A and B are shown apart, each in its own frame.
Chain A
Amino acid sequence: DVKVTQSSRYLVKRTGEKVFLECVQDMDHENMFWYRQDPGLGLRLIYFSYDVKMKEKGDIPEGYSVSREKKERFSLILESASTNQTSMYLCASSLSEWGRYGYTFGSGTRLTVV
């Protein structure tokens, strides 16, 4: 069974902290994505990557950065956490030829910034 694994289910961080959210996939997918889910706003794309060391900004990249040093791992970094970054963060991956199933999502990380 293919998997996208997010390292933490729940995180509580303080304002101003640097926060790392980790995502690992075991499907040899080329593409990886970070979304945040907020009530009434749906899923919004933060960053994505088509290949190792490549990254592209999504719709809401401000306050975030990413790192993809290995194909299977895509990290989301909150440089200085703020309360408006409290959200559910979802990692996803897909093949370049993404087939009929679109993305495979991880279970999410619920981040609370206090």
Chain B
Amino acid sequence: DQQVKQNSPSLSVQEGRISILNCDYTNSMFDYFLWYKKYPAEGPTFLISISSIKDKNEDGRFTVFLNKSAKHLSLHIVPSQPGDSAVYFCAARATNTGNQFYFGTGTSLTVIP
């Protein structure tokens, strides 16, 4: 049973525009969320995180929004750049699951120059 879902396998955006990647989760006990970015033939790298006590966290061009009532997470990239083209995974963790993160299936973002 997939506890973290990314329903859009792919997304294409023009350079300079906003990219919005979405993530839904089912476990209301999740209290910490991460976004990872993955280039082909490389491991995922940490991008941005958010705790359940917040509804927004911003880091440069990247902003993550958390809507706990909807169990929904989104990553906004503004402005999008060609180097942002990668697969993005959201991940969630609950205190009662120890150190294990649950990952979504990933969204492949293509930023068109």
Contact = CB atoms under 8 A, between A and B. Distances in A.
Interface of A: 4, 9, 31, 33, 35, 40-45, 48, 50, 58, 90, 92, 94, 96, 98, 100-108, 110
Interface string B70-113: 00000000000000000001010100001111011110000000
Given A40-B105, A42-B106, A101 B41 contact: no
B43 interface: yes
Q: Is the interface of B mostly helix, strand, loop or mixed?
A: loop
A40 B91 CA distance: 15
The 7 closest A-B pairs by CB, nearest first: A105-B43, A42-B105, A43-B103, A102-B34, A101-B46, A107-B43, A42-B103
Contacts of B98: 50
A57 B105 CA distance: 20
Interface in B1-52: 2, 6, 9, 34, 36, 41-46, 49
Contacts of B6: 42
Contact of A105 (B45, B49, B104, B106): B45
Contacts of A98: 99
B99 A94 contact: yes
Contacts of B34: 101-102
27 contacts: A4-B43, A31-B99, A33-B100, A40-B105, A42-B2, A42-B89, A42-B103, A42-B104, A43-B103, A44-B103, A45-B100, A58-B100, A92-B43, A94-B99, A96-B99, A101-B46, A101-B49, A102-B34, A102-B46, A102-B49, A102-B93, A102-B101, A104-B46, A105-B36, A105-B45, A106-B43, A108-B43
A41 B49 contact: no
Interface residues of B, number: 23
A104 B43 CA distance: 9
A76 B84 CA distance: 32
B66 to A, nearest CB: 15
